[in-house]
Amino acid sequence: MAPRTTERLMNLLIALLVTPTYLPKSRIREIIEPYRGQSDTAFDRMFERDKDALRTLGIRIEVGETESYHGVEPGYRIRREDFELPPIDLEPAEAAVIGVAARVWQSARLGDATAVALRKLVAAGVPIDPDALSGVEPRLAASEPAFEAVWDAVVTRTPVTFLYERADGARAQRVVEPWRVVSWHGRWYLVGFDRDRSDQRLFRLSRVVGDVEPAGSPMEFDVPDDADVREIAASLFPAPPTSDAVVRVRKGRGLGLRRRALTQEPGEEGWDVITVPYGSVGELASDIASYGPDAVAVSPPELRAEVRDRLLRVLEVSTR
């Protein structure tokens, strides 16, 4: 399968940055794998689009004439002095943000791609300057297999579908308009609009099972503005525990609740009684209600009432 757009752009950046002379267009096509398999028209369209993408990022591409097997043709390069940033003075808070971002760009996938790109350039006989890469950190540090596909979908505003496993082990296919990827307490989450449930939702990427597949076209939906997404994400994250609830769970069931339990004792036959910390009555009520007849809220009274109301609403919908 051809590398993703991000990897192709990174390979083009590396190729134009490490060569001390203009790199002919025909040579670029030979070096970068996705270009090689394209027709002349498709290659020209893809190459122009990729150059525009780099320029949009503020990267200046210099154009000049160069000799090649095909005669004199346009050549391209990125001057190191144009690419490198001048010295920047940061406030402590700004430096902290940059530090967090730097830690994010540290996994192996694009790092491996960089090494492969350099080997291909050397094999093709292109003189390179490896020191020119000192300003490029093409590595992402997220261990979740779904991270890259979700990240690409967020950037391109492409709806996606994936199999999602809840805390209780239940799985369901979801179709989501991805708005933002966020990190919270060391885990990565997707904030987006769940089309099946017609509401905004939060998905932990480590609970995505299998591949993330496109469920529509790029630029198919609009994303709330930055402030809205941050507020939505904050509202969706579980509130920190401030109280304890008593819940009855059927033996062998309610695994998600049991994992969070502070205490667990045998109850009447076939049941256990557990103590679960919670910060939001609504969130815990939703969890308990999702187990149906296998979990029963005992206390506090407001939790019992909330669970009962949720189950009644489900019953109303199912009997319409």
pLDDT (0 to 100) of residue 234: 67
Given this chain, do its domains 5-135 and 147-236 carry the same CATH topology? no
Query: Any idea which of 120-124, 186-190, 243-247 has the lowest mean pLDDT?
Result: 120-124
Cα separation, 7 vs 117, whole angstroms = 10
Angle at CA 131, nearest 5°, toward 129 and 134? 135
> For residue 95, which amino acid is it?
A
Query: Could you read off the pLDDT of 64-116 as tens digits, one per residue?
Result: 888 766 678 888 988 877 666 555 555 555 555 545 444 444 443 444 555 55
Angle at CA 83, nearest 5°, toward 96 and 91? 20
Q: Does domain 147-236 fall into CATH 2.30.30?
A: yes
Cα separation, 146 vs 275, whole angstroms = 33
Here the tokens at position 209 are 């099972």
pLDDT (0 to 100) of residue 248: 96
Q: What percent of the chain has pLDDT over 70?
A: 72
Query: Any idea which of 178-182, 266-270, 282-286 has the lowest mean pLDDT?
Result: 282-286
Identify whether the C-beta of residue 16 lies closer than 8 Å to the C-beta of residue 23. yes
Q: What percent of the chain has pLDDT over 90?
A: 24
Instruction: Count the Cβ atoms, other than its own, within 10 Å of residue 308.
Output: 13
Q: Does domain 5-135 fall into CATH 1.10.3470?
A: no
10 pLDDT more than 80: yes
- Tokens 């905004």 belong to 200
Task: Look over the chain and give the mean of its residue pLDDT values, rounded to a whole number.
Answer: 78
Tell me the DSSP string of 267-300. -STTEEEEEEEES-HHHHHHHHHHTGGGEEEEES
- Identify the band that residue 35 occupies on the pLDDT scale cut at 50, 70 and 90: confident
Identify whether the C-beta of residue 23 lies closer than 8 Å to the C-beta of residue 76. yes
Q: Is 69 helix (H, G, I), strand (E, B) or coil?
A: coil
Query: Could you read off the pLDDT of 288-310 as tens digits, one per residue?
Result: 988 889 999 999 999 999 999 88
Cα separation, 238 vs 204, whole angstroms = 12
Q: Which of 1, 43, 35, 41 is nearest to 15 (CA)?
A: 35
Query: Could you read off the pLDDT of 147-176 as tens digits, one per residue?
Result: 889 988 988 899 999 999 876 667 899 999
Instruction: Select the more confidently predicted residue: 225 or 132.
Output: 225
C-alpha 206, offset from chain centre: 11
For the entire predicted model, the pTM comes to: 0.41
* DSSP tally for the chain: helices H, then strands E: 12, 12
pLDDT (0 to 100) of residue 256: 79
Residues in the chain: 320
Distance in angstroms between the alpha carbons of the first and the last residue of the chain? 47
| Average pLDDT over every residue of 40-55 | 88
274 pLDDT more than 90: yes
Q: Which of 176, 117, 181 is nearest to 152 (CA)?
A: 181
Element (H, E) at 8: helix 5-18
Instruction: Select the more confidently predicted residue: 107 or 318.
Output: 318
pLDDT (0 to 100) of residue 55: 82
Task: Note the maximum CA span of the chain.
Answer: 88
Where along the chain do its domains lie? 5-135, 147-236, 243-318
27 pLDDT more than 60: yes
pLDDT (0 to 100) of residue 239: 64
